[in-house]
Amino acid sequence: MDNPFKKRTTEHFRDDVAFLSVVAPEPITRFLEKHAQNSDLYDRPVVICGTPGSGKTTIGRTFSFRSVQTLLQMRGNREKDYTELVAALANCGVLADDRPLILGCRLQLESDYRDFWECPYPESLKAGLMTSLLQARSVIAWLRQLEEAGYSLDDVQAVARQDAEATVASIGGTAAAQLLKRACEVESALYSIVAALLPPPVEQLEEDATKAYQPFDVIEAFRVRGDDGVEFNLRPLAIFDDAHELHQEQYKELTRWLTRREIRVARWLLTRLDVLSPDEVLSAASTDPEATQPHTGMKTRRELLFVRLQGKEGREKRKFRGMARSMADRYLRHISVFQQRGITSFVSLLEHELPTVSDATVRQLEDESAKVQRRLNVSDSRRQSLEQSVNNYLQSSRQPDSDLERNTDVFHAMLQILMYRYRKRTKGPSLFPEVDDPEPSRPVAANAEVFESANLVLLHRNKRPYYYGIDRIADVATENAETFLRLAGELVERSATQLTRGKPGLLKPRDQNHILRDEADRIMREWNFPWHPQVRHLVDALGKRCRETTLQPNGWLRPNSYGVPQEEYDKLTASRQDLRSVLKFGIAWNAFDIRPKYKCKDRLWCILELGGVAILKHGLSLSQGNFIEGSIAELARIVEEKP
């Protein structure tokens, strides 16, 4: 079955129309719109940062002129609704009325650019060669896209900065055809340097490669005459994707170069976090907008705009849920099995009510509760009051699955947790329970945490499903579109299988749960990036510890993270090179995330939060906040173990 979810990233939709039909407008609205309002998006260099699969390239491609042009042509399409996407782009100043305003091009910063760094030339020359190639290719991309869109180069003219007359000649003039010709000459000369088996000696470098070439300093806009004879201006935007492929020093050079006052062209850098050295990644993971960008030494707010495609707070999480839902619906429409049956909503495939617990299970749980009561010497009256507390919680809570009938198992699991908590707060079981029903040091009551602990205990002990329903599926993707699509894709395939079998396509919570967990396990087995064996080993070791803690009878903690004292973390020195690399690649590939300076128990902690895939695999809580207290030494020891 051709399952578009398995394409995972929207980039795999090669055709622009197909691509745009699956692009969700939410990331644009969510991450970029506010910056467009004060024209930060185009006046300052913008660094857009995220893990692989977080949607950087989708944004880059959506902002390219080709997509905008296609979108404008597609607006009238009745089958597909592009209104939201058009509105999102309009709010970002990409288009207005029927015309594009921005001439965006996306360039991948592939190894050609990185290779300049390996040439035996002075650093300033290497940096110059790199920026010349970037500029030449941007010019080529802008003009070629205009050509593809049907504009004749005769109708295109570069608008030069007023004080730049002297340098106009160096870029080939302002006529588009000449501009393009010059850009191609420069590209060819520069390419022959990086592509050579042996780098040519400095003195043999071609003039085309070394002569001053700074179109970004000269071009302010492109003046284009449309079919209707009306002239309009387009603001050029260069989007440099995969900037992490550059050498750190090149990246520094590039950001410095992009912040130069002379540049009139809008410019974005899309990058994974790990363009930085391990230390720098670890501090950049903080989203503090005022933070000094360690890799550039520049104050973020003033000189460049830093956008991270991931939010931390619950509010952000909810936004991702909406985005995931809309993305899944768009993908689903491409699958014939669903199309034929008029199924257009991903959520409609997901059953969210659990079946009533079987009598046998109820009896078993009743026995367990009785045993716990006996073992802990909890009086009947005390038990009754605890039961009351659980019932009150279940009735009043707005948990989607808090229906009492279907929660007999949860009821017992919660009760057992409360009995353990009660006993702990009365300093152990009394020798004379009949006469002794002490009050706990602090009140023991059912609440959301107890409810979640009970659910997780039941997940592990009774195979009660926990990971099901659109929200949890979106949450485990930890705001990574690719991970979400991959997980959702397995569910969709199962639903298609059921339809093929003549059954309803609705997936039971039990099936959702196990399909997602199996897929998580597969994703981790398929990891292959630098340090992945160590990353996997670390994730598994921490996941196991978290699970053990989660299953403690008093259900006190539901950790999915590991904390080390901030001061220890700050001293992560070169002697822990391996650990630093493991952390760096683990973060880059979404295995975990770092939250520094988290205040808990009057102490600052640096928290290593497991990624959604690891949480799924190990059956952990999706809520933030609980972590295992640990140390750098322990992390280092785990990393040193042979995976």
Partner 1 sequence: MNLQYVLRKLAEVMSWDDDTAQAEFARIELMSRMKYDGYQDFLAGARFSERLLDWVQQFGALEDRKTAYRFVRDQLIFISTAEMHHLIGLSWPEFFRPEILRFVADSYGIADYQVRVHQEASNALGKLQRKCLFIELSDGARIDVFRRANPGTISNEQIVTTSRFNREKWDDLLKDLQDELGDAEARFEFVFLLDDFTASGTSLLRFVDGKWKGKLRRFWDESRQFAGSHLSDDVRIHVHHYLATQRAREAVLQRHAERAAEGNWFDAEFTFGMVLPQSIRMEETENADVLDLISRHFDASIAPEKHVRESGCESMMFGYGDSRLPVILDHNTPNNTIPLLWATSSGNQDVHQMRPLFPRRQRHDVLDDSLDKQGQVLNG
Partner 2 sequence: MMRNRGRWDDCVQHWGDAAIAFVQDFFTDADRKVILVCGGGFDPRSRIVADHVADACAKDTHCVILREDVPLTDDTLVKRADDNTNAIQARFDNHQVERINMVSGDQAVTGGRTAVQRVQKHLESGTTDLIVDFSAMSIGVAFPLVRLLLEYAEQKPGGQTVNLHLFAIDEPLTDGAITSIASDRATPVHGFGGQLGLDASRGAAKLWLPQLGLGESVPEVLGRVYNWLEPDAVCPVIPFAPSRPRLGDDLIWAFRDEFESTWQVDSRDIVYAHDSYPLDLYRTILRIDDIRQQVFRDVGGSMTILSPFGRKMLAIGAMLAAIDRDFPVVRSEAVGYRMDQDKIDDAEQVRMVHLWLHGEAYPQDNSKEADQ
Ramachandran angles phi, psi of 400, nearest 5°: -65, -25
With CB under 8 A as the contact rule, which of the stretches 189-197, 292-300, 311-319, 626-634 interacts with partner 2?
189-197
The C-alpha torsion from 20 through 21 and 22 to 25, rounded to 10°, is 70
| 232 contributes a contact to partner 2 by CB under 8 A | no
> Distance (Å, rounded) from C-alpha 436 to C-alpha 404?
32
Burial code (b: 16+ CB inside 10 Å, e: under 16) for 185-195 equals: bbbebbeebbe
Instruction: Say if residues 493 and 19 touch (Cβ distance below 8 Å).
Output: no
* Complex with partner 1: residue 410 or 507, whichever CB lies closer: 507
Return d(Cα 188, Cα 198) in angstroms, integer: 17
- Binding mask of the shown chain, residues 450 to 489, with x at each position contacting partner 1 by CB under 8 A: ----------------------------------------
Question: Quick one: what does residue 114 bind among partner 1, partner 2, none, with the CB cut-off 5 to 8 Å set by partner type?
Answer: partner 2
The one among 112, 387, 471, 609 contacting partner 2 by CB under 8 A? 112
CA–CA distance, 521 with 543 (Å, rounded to integer): 12
| Torsional class of 529: left (φ above 0), alpha (ψ -120 to 50), beta (otherwise) | beta
Stretch that binds partner 1, among 153-161, 280-288, 492-500, 547-555 (CB under 8 A): 492-500
**Look-up of token digits 């941007």:** 138
634 binds partner 1 (CB under 8 A): no
Would you count residue 497 as binding partner 1 (CB under 8 A)?
yes
Nearest approach in angstroms of CB 501 to partner 1 is 5
Binding mask 481-520 for partner 2 (x = CB under 8 A): ----------------------------------------
> 225 - beta bridge partners?
231
* Residues facing residue 598 across a β-bridge: 605
Q: Which stretch binds partner 2 (CB under 8 A): 10-18, 388-396, 425-433, 598-606?
A: 10-18
Q: Using the rule CB under 8 A, is 396 a contact of partner 1?
A: no
Nearer to partner 1, 217 or 511 (CB): 511
Q: How far is CA 139 from CA 149, 158, 187, 200, 447, in A?
A: 16, 10, 10, 26, 61
Q: Does 182 bind partner 2 (CB under 8 A)?
A: no
> Which of 272, 412, 494, 617: binder of partner 1 (CB under 8 A)?
494
Q: Residues 324, 477: contact at Cβ < 8 Å? A: yes
- Residue 194 in contact with partner 2, rule: CB under 8 A: yes
Query: Which single residue is written with the structure tokens 């495609």?
Result: 309
Q: What backbone phi and psi angles, to 5 degrees, belong to 47?
A: -110, 115
Please give the helix or strand (H or E) that residue 600 lies within, else none.
strand 592-600
Query: Whole-number minimum distance, CB 634 to partner 2, in Å?
Result: 22
The C-alpha angle 516, 521, 526, rounded to 5 degrees, equals 120
Stretch of residues binding partner 2 (CB under 8 A), selected from 109-117, 413-421, 473-481, 565-573: 109-117
Q: Residue 152 or 497: which CB sits closer to partner 1?
A: 497
Segment contacting partner 1 (CB under 8 A): 114-122, 500-508, 572-580, 602-610? 500-508
Of 290, 381, 528, 602, the one binding partner 2 (CB under 8 A) is 528
For residue 357, give the nearest of 402, 395, 406, 410 by alpha carbon. 406
Q: HEC profile for 93-146?
A: CCEECCEECEEEEEEECCHHHHHHCCCCCCHHHHHHHHHHHHHHHHHHHHHHHH
Supply the minimum distance, in Å, between the C-beta of residue 345 and partner 1. 21
| Residue 406 touches which of partner 1, partner 2, none (Cβ within 5-8 Å per kind) | none
Q: Which does 511 bind (CB under 5 to 8 A by kind): partner 2, partner 1, none?
A: partner 1
Q: SS3 for 469-509, per residue?
A: CHHHHHHHCCCCHHHHHHHHHHHHHHHHHHHHCCCCCCECH
Instruction: Confirm or reject binding of residue 38 to partner 1 (CB under 8 A).
Output: no
**Shortest reach from residue 590's CB to partner 2, in Å:** 12
CB-CB contact of 319 with 311 (8 Å) = yes
Strands 231-241 and 266-271, by their bridges, are: parallel
513 near partner 1, rule: CB under 8 A:
no
DSSP secondary structure letter of residue 190? H
- To partner 2, the closest distance from the beta carbon of 245 in angstroms equals 6
Position among 288, 297, 533, 603 found at the interface with partner 2 (CB under 8 A): 533
Q: Which of 79, 150, 162, 195 lies at the binding interface for partner 2 (CB under 8 A)?
A: 195
191 binds, among partner 1, partner 2, none (CB under 5 to 8 A by kind): partner 2
Binding mask 122-141 for partner 2 (x = CB under 8 A): ---------------x--x-
**Interface residues for partner 2 in 581-640 (CB under 8 A)?**
585, 588-589
- 594 sits in which H/E element: strand 592-600
Nearer to partner 2 among residue 80 and residue 114 (C-beta): 114
When the beta carbons of 217 and 490 are compared against partner 1, the nearer one is 490
Of 98, 359, 502, 602, the one binding partner 1 by CB under 8 A: 502
Which one of partner 2, partner 1, none interacts with residue 500, CB within 5 to 8 A by kind?
A: partner 1
Instruction: Evaluate the CA torsion angle 526, 529, 533, 537 in order and state its sign.
Output: negative
As beta bridge partners, residue 564 has 606
**Is residue 20 involved in binding partner 2 (CB under 8 A)?**
no
The contact set with partner 1 (CB under 8 A) reads 1, 337, 493-494, 497-498, 500-502, 511
Per CB under 8 A, residues contacting partner 2 are 1-4, 6-9, 11-12, 14, 52, 108, 110-112, 114-115, 117-118, 137, 140, 144, 183-184, 187-188, 191, 194-198, 242, 245, 247-248, 525-533, 585, 588-589
